[in-house]
Amino acid sequence: MSDILIKEIETLLVDLPTIRPHKLSMTTMACQTLVIIRLRLSDGTEGLGEATTIGGLAYGPESPEGIKQTIDTYLAPLLIGQPAHNLNALRARMARHARGNSFAKSGLETALLDAEGKRRGLSVAALLGGARCDHLPVLWTLASGDTQKDIDEAFQRLEERRHCDFKLKIGANPVDQDVRHVGAIKAALGDRASVRVDVNQAWDEATAARGIDALEAAGIDLIEQPIPAREFAGLTRLAQRFVVPMLADEAVHDARDGFTLAAGGFGDAFALKIAKAGGPRSVLELAHVAQAAGVSLYGGTMLEGTIGTAASLHAWATLGELTWGTEMFGPLLLKDDIVARPLHYHEFGVDLPTGPGLGITLDEDKLNHYRRRD
């Protein structure tokens, strides 16, 4: 039988409004732009992928527009005409000819896995070694910036049995103001919920030490990326200084970053994100380094839509229990969706999609409505 070849790769920018402004230390989002990838094979199979970042260039060096341009101009020509079944060879081909651009590569790897799963009648999780669970815990980010609104939102999610773990985005305000905000929310929720914070690199080490001391006293369970990403030694010092664990996010992209941090004495927790690592296969390489080093895991998000979220869930499901759960709530932050059947969120988590590939089908009318016109 002749090889099934990659025939065509199409990228679309899709703009979806959020249910409320989502405030981070570096930007406030009212809309999320998804880069949707449609990869078609010579036998007619279509694979879906997604590459999504936060706030244009506010978060990192890849923007939605840049991701689309990178795929259309550089990465798609590397893949078109190549046999579709050998993902390792295709990953190596992209790595050899294009440096960095992990978000773009992640979207393409996802589309290749989705297509291969559909061709073979297997889920992406099965292609990655097999799912060890079919329901994953999901936290909710409280990011309105208003203390009472955040408290009300948290209680609503608890009553709905939608979420029982919460993360607060801080760092845009003075430390004392942020600590008061977080402390009031934790006091209101008490033992009913776990409360964590994400500083998104906003503090220097001295400020972080002062802030973390107060947050630890307030009962906060986890501190995410308090200082700039490349300050590995500082993050390690903070992890060793405090009882409350530090979560490395922007500091740890791939397996090499994970090894460097662990070898330097960091032992708390890593945030896994398929986009940072370059795809589902790549992020599992990081997870295995963490597991070997005794570092806890957390399934992170770039606030992807349903396609990107499903890809992450298939990867996380192969790892079994993640100590800090996941934050795969991206689709819930959006007012609408572009898929025929949304993910099923219930009982403080989300079900792993079933069916071949990602288990996701596009709603063509919704996609056409929200896609950006040239």
Domains, in order of start, for the chain: 6-121+363-370 (3.30.390.10), 127-351 (3.20.20.120)
- The confidence score (pLDDT) of residue 32 equals 96
- The confidence score (pLDDT) of residue 22 equals 80
- Alpha-carbon distance 5 to 9, whole Å? 12
- Alpha-carbon distance 321 to 339, whole Å? 28
Residue 98 has pLDDT above 50, yes or no: yes
- The confidence score (pLDDT) of residue 1 equals 42
Phi, psi of 202 (to 5 degrees): -80, -15
Q: What is the pLDDT averaged over residues 54-70?
A: 92
3-state secondary structure of 330: helix
Q: What are the pLDDT digits (tens) for 205-237?
A: 999 999 999 999 999 999 999 999 999 999 999
Residue 96 has pLDDT above 90, yes or no: yes
- Quickly state the pLDDT bin for 2 (edges 50, 70, 90): low
The pLDDT mean for the chain works out to: 96
Q: Are strands 246-248 and 6-23 parallel, antiparallel or unpaired?
A: unpaired
Q: What are the pLDDT digits (tens) for 241-290?
A: 999 999 999 999 999 999 999 999 999 999 999 999 999 999 999 999 99
Catalytic residue among 68, 167, 169, 186: 169
- The confidence score (pLDDT) of residue 321 equals 85
Q: What is the pLDDT averaged over residues 114-142?
A: 97
Task: Check if 285 is active-site.
Answer: no
Q: What are the pLDDT digits (tens) for 25-57?
A: 677 888 999 999 999 999 999 999 999 999 888
Q: What are the pLDDT digits (tens) for 199-209?
A: 999 999 999 99
Q: Which amino acid is at 197?
A: V
Higher-confidence residue of 59 and 353: namely 353
Q: What are the pLDDT digits (tens) for 150-165?
A: 999 999 999 999 999 9
- Quickly state the pLDDT bin for 58 (edges 50, 70, 90): confident
Q: What are the pLDDT digits (tens) for 307-319?
A: 999 999 999 999 9
Task: Check if 327 is active-site.
Answer: yes
- Quickly state the pLDDT bin for 144 (edges 50, 70, 90): confident
Residue 145 has pLDDT above 90, yes or no: no
